[in-house]
Amino acid sequence: MPDRTLVFLESSTSGHLFVRAARRQGLRPILVTSGSDRYRNLAGEAVDTVIADTADIGAMARVCDKFQAQAPIAGIMSTSGAYASMAARLCHRLGLPGADFQAIENCQNKFLQRGTFKNAGLLTPAYELVHNVPSAVEAAARIGFPVIVKPVVGSGSTGVRLCLDGGDVGEQVAYLLSTDGEGVARDVLIEEFIVGLEYSVETVGHAVLGITKKHLGTLPHFVEVGHDFPAALDQREQFAVTETVLSAVEALRLHWGAAHTELRLDRRGPVIIEVNPRMGGDMIPELIRLASGVDVVSETIRLATGAQIDLRPRKRRQASIRFLTPGAEGLVRWKADLNAVRAIPSVSEVDLYVAEGDEVRLHGDYRDRIGHVIAEGDTQCEVEFSLAEVMAGLRYDIEPAAGPPNGR
């Protein structure tokens, strides 16, 4: 058994990649989570799991002290941005490599982010912080419709909605502030809607790994239904995006570790939407590995355990992911021949998240996805051709289920 442990606080859509990479480096991965059944993608990994309150620093300190008494902790990290600050605090306490936890906490608050970017002279959407429905409607009118309503703290597009008028704004803000809302937000951002294509940029410290093009689902929600890496931008656009992101990362003092920056390109140039203090989810690390040869998951683990890292690209290819997102709620009835789909040239991975007869509900965020496919090739055209063939083969019906609709 490995004599050094790597502690993961909670997980993400790419969490299983980190567990596997830790084992390849001779480390024993331990998942600390508040719920053992939260992560479908870890179900087959047989990872040691400890149940604890991952939001309580005292509880987490006691858990890590117990681990340390049993075997040396090589590193502590989280693939989920929501727990990046906790991981940084624990690393600081134990003298392990880690980020500045105060910088992480400031980054996790989208309102504080906006102020930091504004002071640094970076382009950001117009925004206002609100705490109730009347002030939200007034703020939206000042900014100009349509606007985006989102919780100040959160990820995965949860609780984010495009609102066309005051009625929409009032409804969404009331929902976010209610006990039925997504995490019962205390603070809400009203934000200008930037028209333009959306991208994300993956960085480790001040090293830029590349730019990812995002594909979004149907408004008023912002479900990400696909990614292409690297994005097809001209040299001028690449330079503008890279310089903007490096300035944003510097302004936030994110000098150590991975960051995932989301932005839109409008007529003025790159407009920063938000920076997340974590590696990109949605299997973006796998796209980077397939396209550039950089195993950023393994390198991030090396960074977290104090080893030297190497982020130099080894090849230049294209890789894309597309998610299956049903447009209705109900029971899934698959009509796909998975063996035939997986045999399609350039297909790297096909994964279905729900089984035959499972019920799906629509939430307007990442939870709406029921599967994904990844393809790679020498050109984006080759990748798109394979993706189209795969998506056509992954046929399914949504059969209405008994019971009331979800309503959101």
- In tens, the pLDDT along 182-201 reads 555 678 999 999 999 999 99
Could you read off the pLDDT tens digit of each residue along the chain, which spans 408 residues?
Answer: 567 999 999 988 788 889 999 999 999 999 999 986 777 777 778 788 999 999 999 999 999 999 999 999 999 999 888 899 999 999 999 999 999 999 999 998 889 999 999 999 999 999 999 999 999 999 999 999 999 999 988 766 788 999 999 999 999 999 998 865 555 567 899 999 999 999 999 999 999 999 999 999 988 998 999 999 999 999 999 999 999 999 999 999 999 999 999 999 999 999 999 999 999 989 999 999 999 999 999 999 999 999 999 999 999 999 999 999 998 999 999 998 888 999 998 999 999 999 999 999 998 888 899 999 999 999 999 999 999 999 999 999 999 987 655 544
Residues in CB range of 117: below 8 A, 6 or more apart: 123, 124, 248, 251, 272
For the entire predicted model, the pTM comes to 0.91
**Residue 375 backbone phi and psi in degrees, to 5:** -130, 150
Round to whole Å and give the CA distance between 202 and 221: 23
pLDDT tens per residue, range 97-113: 999 999 999 998 889 99
pLDDT score, position 405: 52
* Predicted local distance difference test score (pLDDT) of residue 304: 97
Task: Annotate 83-116 with b (16+ C-beta within 10 A) or e (fewer).
Answer: bbbbbbbbbebbebbbbbbebbbbbbbbeebbeb
Helices (H), 276-319: 284-292, 296-304
What's residue 2's pLDDT?
62
Domains observed in the chain: 5-98 (3.40.50.20), 102-124+195-282 (3.30.470.20), 126-192 (3.30.1490.20), 317-408 (3.30.470.20)
Distance of CA 29 to CAs 39, 220, 237, 292, 310, Å? 15, 39, 40, 26, 22
The Cα-based distances of 203 to 58, 95, 212, 302 in angstroms read: 31, 24, 11, 15
From start to end of 164-204, where are the E strands? 188-192, 197-204
CA distance 81 to 85: 8
pLDDT (0 to 100) of residue 179: 62
Q: Which residue from 236, 274, 240, 269 is spatially nearest to 254, judged by alpha carbons?
A: 274
What one-letter code names the amino acid at 222? F
